[in-house]
Copies of this chain bind each other. A is one copy, B any other.
Amino acid sequence: MILLPDDFVVTPWEVSGDIDYDRLIERFGTQKIDDELVARLVKHTGEMHTMLRRGIFYSHRDLNLILDDHEKGRGFVMYTGRGPSGHTHLGHLMPWIFTKYLQDRFGVELYFQLTDDEKFLFLPELSLEDTKNFAYENALDIIALGFDKDKTRIFLDTEYAHQMYNIALKVAKKVTFSTAKAVFGFDNSNNIGSIWFTSMQAATAFLPSVLKGENIRCVIPCAIDQDPHFRVARDIAEGIGFYKPALLHCKMLPSLAGSDKMSASLPSTSIFTVDSAGDIKKKIGNAFTGGAVSVDEQRKNGGNPDICSVYQYFYYIFEEDDAKLDDRWAKCRSGEILCGECKGDLTARVTGFVAKHQEKREKARDVVEEFMLRDCQGGDD
């Protein structure tokens, strides 16, 4: 695909160009989370989350129906997921942190799908053993965030394949290759597993209804690049007897190279939860900023925080205080602070966060089994 200068690509498997998130709402046909909906959400949560206030979670489908069901006492469930192609980075944690906030405030169940089948099918270099191992590593990060053990079910597609396959078949029967081509850009060179896969991703939206034996609405907090899967799921949901899944979309944490999303495939521009303090310092030290060509120049004309990846990290995760964030922006703009100072501040914040996370991550090893959904293994042999 050839990109025009201001163009961008966002699919579940490719994010490139400078993303215009408002245009993405139009392209995908989603709804903006407007002030009224934010107010309705906050009425229930009792607290405005930074990611809502800053418009990081900014788009949705049918969130109003979820709140209707909540208000009528019918309840709802949540579903999110992760494609275990490598270790977890901070970009992955962002929507999970918001998901945990929703779970805490609404007290609802969360189904967490680890698509080890997907990453095996889409990445030539990974074996099923690789993706399964990464799935368990990722599960430690999920648990470390503090999700409620009694209300959170994590599963690997390959370990919960019996349950998932039976639901996915009903999805797959309703989705033509034509649709899959149009939505995901597949062609003849794609393998037949990757073409099938969206059925497994859609199936989780219906899993809670299957397990409960009655329909319950499901909302999926996720980065907006995953929306195409759920557009397919929504199209076929009612035809197979379920509610259309609702969605809550967030923007994607930029990479330290300054654009696109943080990507597990470019390790030097992403910060992973398993990184050492030295790794973090080095990566942030090499981050793309809005600094000028020289210290003198920057003292005189200021830097540009709007294109600075370090500033973005404060904005997205590491500075919840709006006043302090604005202050940093203004001081950069005026040349009062230089890039080294911001990098130092961010390194301290990230290192502190990751160190604490790693402690909780180690403790998660003891309880991981309590979170996992599995079929029994391997039949009667």
Interface residues of A (CB under 8 A from B): 117, 120-121, 128, 155, 158, 160-166, 168-170, 172-178, 180-181, 186-196, 198-199, 211, 373-381
Q: How far is the CA of A191 from the CA of B299 in the complex (A)?
A: 62
Q: How far is the CA of A375 from the CA of B375 in the complex (A)?
A: 7
Q: List 19 A-B contacts (CB under 8 A).
A: A117-B169, A121-B169, A121-B172, A155-B379, A158-B165, A158-B166, A158-B169, A163-B379, A172-B194, A174-B191, A175-B192, A176-B190, A177-B177, A177-B186, A195-B195, A211-B381, A373-B380, A373-B381, A374-B380
Query: In the complex, which residues of chain B have a beta carbon less than 8 angstroms from the beta carbon of A120?
Result: 169, 173
Tell me the interface secondary structure of chain A in the complex.
helix
The 6 closest A-B pairs by CB, nearest first: A376-B376, A172-B193, A196-B196, A161-B165, A178-B188, A162-B162
Query: In the complex, which residues of chain B have a beta carbon less than 8 angstroms from the beta carbon of A173?
Result: 120-121, 191, 193
**Identical subunits present:** 2
Is A181 within 8 A of B188, CB to CB? yes
Q: How far is the CA of A187 from the CA of B196 in the complex (A)?
A: 15
Q: How far is the CA of A160 from the CA of B174 in the complex (A)?
A: 23
> With A121-B169, A172-B194, A373-B380 given, can you name 20 additional A-B contacts, CB distance below 8 Å?
A120-B169, A128-B169, A128-B170, A161-B162, A162-B375, A162-B376, A162-B378, A163-B378, A172-B191, A173-B191, A175-B192, A175-B193, A176-B189, A176-B190, A177-B190, A192-B198, A193-B196, A193-B199, A195-B196, A211-B381
Query: In the complex, which residues of chain B have a beta carbon less than 8 angstroms from the beta carbon of A170?
Result: 128
Query: In the complex, which residues of chain B have a beta carbon less than 8 angstroms from the beta carbon of A164?
Result: 165
**Closest chain B residue to A376, Cβ basis:** B376
Known: A373-B379, A375-B375, A376-B375. A195 touches B166 (CB 8 A): no
Choose one: B155, B172, B180, B189; the contact of A178 (CB below 8 Å): B189
Q: How far is the CA of A376 from the CA of B192 in the complex (A)?
A: 27
Q: How far is the CA of A376 from the CA of B180 in the complex (A)?
A: 32
Query: In the complex, which residues of chain B have a beta carbon less than 8 angstroms from the beta carbon of A168?
Result: 193
